[in-house]
């Protein structure tokens, strides 16, 4: 259950200077296998390297506006690795890390942020919903997906990501309420990175936490350290087990921080002191987990070198596939509007293609 | 066959759809125990149980947003929005997600859902209960907007909408929910979407309408034909988007005159688009500019004046006479 408001508020205010994950490493978790601990670390690096390369691509004009996730890797890795393949990820625009981990190819994410329809493709069998752009609108979708699973008696849960800003939207309230009333197998996972673009958390809500809002819906609320992938994993894993066994929804709030701007069009120095960002970076969640793995004797320099090379190679390959994609096919904009295009739409497409000098033809055959 | 009102025909259609396909569920405010505020869903909770006829919290975005997830994950939900004037909290879900999920997922996720919405005015309802804002939805690519004008079509169009793999906004004209009865088959049948129907053939002018206004226009036409000796062709559009341009253009090319009659306000009402398309396609056959008969460009007034806001028989008649006088 969530902590008392006063306690949570102290943690929020003091998080940057007295982070609990760093107090001591403690013993290696007995409930999580070594391979999974290592996988968490590897996946966090995968997302960070992907993210940094994507920002560089944007700065070089090779993709469009991009919303970096750096800093939030422990949240997305811990949460997504706790899901089963049949479970649904319902993401926002910053949760492409979760999308990648749940099976969406990296190059699709890059193509999407490069304004390409091909990037919207989610492979069959990969249970990921399209990125939701309007804030909090994905949360009712997650409830509906979970509701269908319940009605169809499927062993499946849905996890809807959202941020602290989304908790102010009506759709957050409506989704939480439906989840509670119908006891849906859904998990709402808030990455509270403490800023909605520039607006700080205390301007979103007068409550000290997001987690305590769950009580208003008859839903269990949990607050975790979003700087600690292991803690996130445990919370989501427990919520999946609960949901899958008929125990209903859970709201999980993970306290985290985004290192970079809201998007590549944003300048966070206008609203955040550099010292604050530096303090969070000094206690970086990936570096911390790496130190833990070494302390527990399951990680070393040779593995680290191999990991960095492997992940850089993987990201480079994805970038190569993105950049070697043929030019966009203008006809694509007419596809997938209806199951059957209307005669009018077909006429518009025909006239458009004729204006391009290739009636009825496709550019890349 | 049995004699049914529009309400009974839609109720029968819902029953047929649910009996045929276990994926079909109803959800909305007061649709279960109460059978809907207009009794459209009466008896369905008793027949199909509370897992398939679901009283939801009072939350239009929640109803439409959860329907997105339900439809994408294998169900065929039929959400009800109690009145068109209350659909706006869910507008974002409709235009940003419902209309676009097929496109945004490149066909991976489709939304076979039918959003039922009572609409239109002149039932002496309180404020905000009388909107005819079909343009908002017809303006949005990806949505299909359907309006029946009689009990037979209501059942058939509803069942075709449930069969559709794309989301349908199914608008139910409240004024004629119980205005008249018609023979309606008891068995399952569909009336095709995207297909207008020629209610009455004629040679001198084409009148295009839908919903409540079809029957009222028909009454006016009968009188006009007797009094003026003109021959009027009446088209019920039935699907407002994507609409059946072929049937309309074929008719106007024959008659050389066209009038659009609708209860929505004139400004950017669907009549504007229909008129523009007729001018684009049939200009050389036209004897007169296309006329529109619509509500005035003001919000629906409180009910004492609402009958004068919507097209009256006099205004419909004048609109038709205008294209002959040009």
Cα distances (angstroms) measured from residue A170 to each of A139, A249, B304: 10, 18, 35
Residue B316 tokens read as: 């419909």
Residues of B annotated as catalytic (active site), given as ranges: 129
Task: Please compute, for residue B72, the number of CA atoms within 13 A of its CA located in the half-sphere on the CB side.
Answer: 32
Report the b/e string of B190-224 with b at 16+ CB within 10 A: bbebbebbebbebebbbbbbbbbbbbbbbebbeeb
Domains, chain B, ordered by start: 2-184 (3.40.50.970), 197-325 (3.40.50.920)
pLDDT at A247: 98
pLDDT at A2: 44
**CA angle A27–A30–A34, rounded 5-degree value:** 90
- Residue numbers of chain A with a pLDDT score lower than 70: 1-24, 359-365
Q: Which residues of B touch A142 (CB under 8 A)?
A: 69
pLDDT at A253: 98
Q: Which long-range contacts (CB under 8 A, 24 or more apart) does A341-348 make?
A: A342/B194, A342/B242, A343/B242, A343/B245, A343/B246, A344/B242, A344/B245, A345/B242
Helix/strand/coil (H/E/C) assignment for every residue in chain B:
CEEECHHHHHHHHHHHHHHHCCCEEEEECCCCCCCCCCCCCCCHHHHHCCCCEEECCCCHHHHHHHHHHHHHCCCEEEEECCCHHHCHHHHHHHHHHHCCHHHHCCCCCCCCCEEEEEECCCCCCCCCCCCCCHHHHHCCCCCEEECCCCHHHHHHHHHHHHHCCCCEEEEEEHHHCCCCCEEECCCCCCCCCCCCEEEECCCCEEEEECCHHHHHHHHHHHHHHHHHCCCEEEEECCEEECCCHHHHHHHHHHHCCEEEEEEEECCCCHHHHHHHHHHHHHHHHCCCCCEEEEECCCCCCCHHHHHHHCCCHHHHHHHHHHHHHC
DSSP state of A260: S
The secondary structure element, H or E, covering residue A161 is: strand A158-163
pLDDT at A87: 98
A174 to B108: CB separation less than 8 angstroms, yes or no: no
pLDDT at A26: 82
Contact with chain A for residue B70, Cβ under 8 A: yes
Q: What is the pLDDT along chain B (326 residues), one digit of tens a residue?
A: 999 999 999 999 999 999 999 999 999 999 999 999 999 999 999 999 999 999 999 999 999 999 999 999 999 999 999 999 999 999 999 999 999 999 999 999 999 999 999 999 999 999 999 999 999 999 999 999 999 999 999 999 999 999 999 999 999 999 999 999 999 999 999 999 999 999 999 999 999 999 999 999 999 999 999 999 999 999 999 999 999 999 999 999 999 999 999 999 999 999 999 999 999 999 999 999 999 999 999 999 999 999 999 999 999 999 999 999 99
Percent of chain B surpassing pLDDT 90: 100
Domains, chain A, ordered by start: 5-323 (3.40.50.970), 333-365 (no CATH)
Tens digits of per-residue pLDDT, B235-266? Answer: 999 999 999 999 999 999 999 999 999 999 99
Q: How far apart are CA B8 and CA B12, in angstroms?
A: 6
Of the residues A203, A271, A310, A358, which is catalytic?
A271
Q: How many interface pairs between A and B have CB atoms less than 8 angstroms apart?
A: 138
A48 is catalytic: no
ipTM: 0.96
Q: How many CB atoms lie within 10 A of CB A294?
A: 15
pLDDT at A11: 54
Q: Cβ(B218)–Cβ(B199) under 8 Å?
A: yes
The per-residue pLDDT of chain B, averaged, comes to 98
B194 to A130: CB separation less than 8 angstroms, yes or no: no
Q: Which residues of A touch B102 (CB under 8 A)?
A: 336-339
């Amino acid at each position: 259950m969530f902590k008392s408001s006063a306690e949570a508020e102290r943690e929020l205010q003091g998080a940057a200077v007295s982070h609990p994950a760093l107090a001591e490493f403690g013993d290696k978790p007995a409930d999580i296998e070594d391979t999974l601990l290592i996988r968490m670390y590897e996946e966090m690096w995968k997302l960070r390297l992907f993210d940094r390369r994507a920002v560089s691509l944007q700065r070089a004009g090779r993709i469009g506006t991009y919303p970096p996730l750096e800093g939030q890797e422990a949240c997305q890795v811990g949460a997504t690795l706790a899901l089963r393949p049949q479970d649904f990820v319902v993401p926002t625009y910053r949760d492409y890390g979760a999308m990648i981990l749940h099976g969406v190819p990296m190059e699709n994410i890059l193509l999407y942020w490069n304004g390409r329809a091909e990037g919207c493709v989610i492979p069959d069998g990969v249970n990921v919903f399209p990125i939701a752009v309007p804030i909090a609108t994905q949360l009712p979708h997650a409830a509906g997906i979970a509701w269908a699973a319940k009605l169809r008696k499927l062993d499946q849960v849905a996890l809807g990501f959202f941020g602290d800003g989304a908790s102010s939207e009506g759709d957050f309230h409506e989704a939480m309420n439906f989840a509670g009333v119908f006891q849906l197998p859904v998990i709402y996972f808030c990455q509270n990175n403490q800023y909605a673009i520039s607006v700080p958390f205390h301007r979103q809500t007068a409550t000290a936490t997001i987690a305590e809002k769950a009580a208003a819906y008859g839903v269990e609320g949990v607050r975790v350290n979003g700087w600690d992938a292991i803690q996130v994993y445990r919370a989501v894993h427990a919520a999946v087990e609960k949901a899958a066994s008929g125990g209903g929804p859970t709201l999980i709030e993970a306290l985290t921080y985004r290192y970079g701007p809201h998007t590549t069009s944003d300048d966070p120095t206008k609203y955040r002191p550099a010292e604050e960002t530096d303090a969070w970076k000094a206690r970086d969640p990936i570096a911390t987990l790496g130190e833990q793995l070494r302390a527990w004797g399951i990680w070393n320099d040779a593995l680290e070198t191999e990991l960095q090379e492997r992940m850089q190679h993987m990201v480079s390959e994805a970038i190569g596939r993105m950049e070697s994609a043929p030019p966009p096919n203008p006809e694509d904009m007419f596809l997938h509007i209806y199951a059957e295009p209307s005669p009018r739409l077909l006429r518009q497409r025909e006239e458009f293609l004729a204006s391009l000098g290739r009636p009825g033809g496709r550019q890349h055959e | 066959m049995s004699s049914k009102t529009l309400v009974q025909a839609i109720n029968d259609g819902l029953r047929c759809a649910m009996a045929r396909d276990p994926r079909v569920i109803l959800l909305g405010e007061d649709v279960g125990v109460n059978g809907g505020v207009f009794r459209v869903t009466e008896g369905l909770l008793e027949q199909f149980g509370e897992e398939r006829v679901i009283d939801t919290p009072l939350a239009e975005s929640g109803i439409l947003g959860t329907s997105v997830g339900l439809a994408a994950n294998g169900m065929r939900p039929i959400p009800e929005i109690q009145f068109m004037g209350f659909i706006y909290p869910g507008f974002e879900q409709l235009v940003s997600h419902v209309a676009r999920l097929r496109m945004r997922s490149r066909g991976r996720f489709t939304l076979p859902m039918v959003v039922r919405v009572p609409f239109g005015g002149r039932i002496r309802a309180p404020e905000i209960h009388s909107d005819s804002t079909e343009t908002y939805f017809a303006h949005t690519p990806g949505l299909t907007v359907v309006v029946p004008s009689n009990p037979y079509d209501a059942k058939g169009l509803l069942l075709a909408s449930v069969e559709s793999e794309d989301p349908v906004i199914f608008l139910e004209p409240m004024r004629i929910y119980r205005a008249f009865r018609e023979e309606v088959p008891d068995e399952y049948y569909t009336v095709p979407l995207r297909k207008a129907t020629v209610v009455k053939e004629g040679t001198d002018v084409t009148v295009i309408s839908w919903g409540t206004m079809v029957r009222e226009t028909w009454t006016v036409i009968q009188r006009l034909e007797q009094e003026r000796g003109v021959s009027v062709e009446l088209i019920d559009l039935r699907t407002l988007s994507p609409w059946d341009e072929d049937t309309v253009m074929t008719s106007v090319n024959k008659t050389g005159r066209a009038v659009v009659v609708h209860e929505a306000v004139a400004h950017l009402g669907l009549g504007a688009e229909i008129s523009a398309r007729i001018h684009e396609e049939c200009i050389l056959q036209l004897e007169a500019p296309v006329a529109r008969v619509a509500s005035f460009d003001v919000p629906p007034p409180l009910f004492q004046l609402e009958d004068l806001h919507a097209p009256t028989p006099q205004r419909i008649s004048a609109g038709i006479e205008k294209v002959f006088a040009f």
